[in-house]
Structure 1
């Protein structure tokens, strides 16, 4: 019992030490932005620190590429074994905060069977969307009909929010990207 208590104290101490360490300069968690998820929970982007993340950007009313992006994210996660899957979080942030309300994101998650806590669909303000997309290296522009023209990529972040791998293979599994995730999780 004493040994278990000591181990628990050690784990908590290490977790607190990690959280209080300064962020690396190239961490996306240096962005001071708030995300609101499909359940209405607000949290700073930096709260995702501590676990590797598979990240993308999309918008819920997209009928063409975004469903393929989400399917590629799901296929990538499913290519991992259950232990690996438990070590990574998935984050999809909307390009379209005007239409992607909490209710729209929740409806999309339910329709696509994207279960929390593994999946987080999130929104933030228009200026923050622009900042996040810039840091992630994703381009987008709104078209006159309200749709978006945008980059389509999956991005792997390490536990400190640094970009360690990316793929633009959408609609099919990218084995090289899956191996990059496995490598990251092995060191996580």
Structure 2
């Protein structure tokens, strides 16, 4: 697992380079920190067909990753990773953490496609959200999260697999590229720490 330091530097560079930045204030009018990924205005459409700006995720820590529903190899392991992390948390800790998987293939990842994976994997809507951004925003969010991807001729994607932990203000506090049913212990510890705040 790699933590803060260079991660906040990457987020800062991506934020500075992004043309679609927006300053958002929370319910109490408190501005976002300058290194928050939520500085990017990003509409997401979830598995229930609801569209909302991801800045609405502000307020609780989130484990975030990118995936696509037709992936048969790595992306199911990303879901496994989120579930494995959940299993290592107490019920109270689970209630204070959200998990968001953002599609890198919004053209095919309609709400129906997202719902199919959501239901098949038995995900809990109280904690999980599968969502697609507008196609023009995929590269921006991938850059913010430090996820590289490349569409292939056969419709698949070559991409890095990473889980990114955001604090309640959307700052990157931890990251791991270890995916599967045995989660990175350091990343789980970081999630527990975030849930305790």
Q: TM-score, normalised by structure 1?
A: 0.89
Partner of residue 189, structure 2? 179
Does 2:43 correspond to 1:34?
yes
Partner of residue 72, structure 1? 81
Residue pairs, 1:83-162, within 5 angstroms: 83-162=92-171
Partner of residue 3, structure 2? none
Q: Which runs of 5+ in 1 are unaligned?
A: 1-14
Partner of residue 66, structure 2? 57
Partner of residue 27, structure 2? 16
Question: 4+ residue runs of structure 1 moved beyond 2 angstroms?
Answer: none
Partner of residue 14, structure 2? none
Aligned length: 171
Hey, what's the Cα distance between the residues in 1 that align with 2:61 and 2:87? 16
Question: Which is further off, 79-88 or 167-176?
Answer: 167-176
Name the SS of the counterpart of 1:16 in structure 2. coil
Larger Rg: 1
Deviations 1:127-172 (A, max 9, x none): 2111000001000010000000001011100000000001111122
Hey, what's the Cα distance between the residues in 1 that align with 2:188 and 2:126? 21
- How far the C-alpha of 1:115 sits from its partner, in A, is 2.2
Hey, what's the Cα distance between the residues in 2 that align with 1:71 and 1:181? 16
Hey, what's the Cα distance between the residues in 1 that align with 2:171 and 2:193? 15
- How far the C-alpha of 1:78 sits from its partner, in A, is 1.2
Q: Which runs of 5+ in 2 are unaligned?
A: 1-25
Hey, what's the Cα distance between the residues in 2 that align with 1:95 and 1:67? 14
- How far the C-alpha of 1:35 sits from its partner, in A, is 0.4
Hey, what's the Cα distance between the residues in 2 that align with 1:166 and 1:58? 16
- How far the C-alpha of 1:16 sits from its partner, in A, is 3.4
Q: TM-score, normalised by structure 2?
A: 0.85
Deviations 1:22-80 (A, max 9, x none): 11111110111100000011110100000100101000000000001110111011111
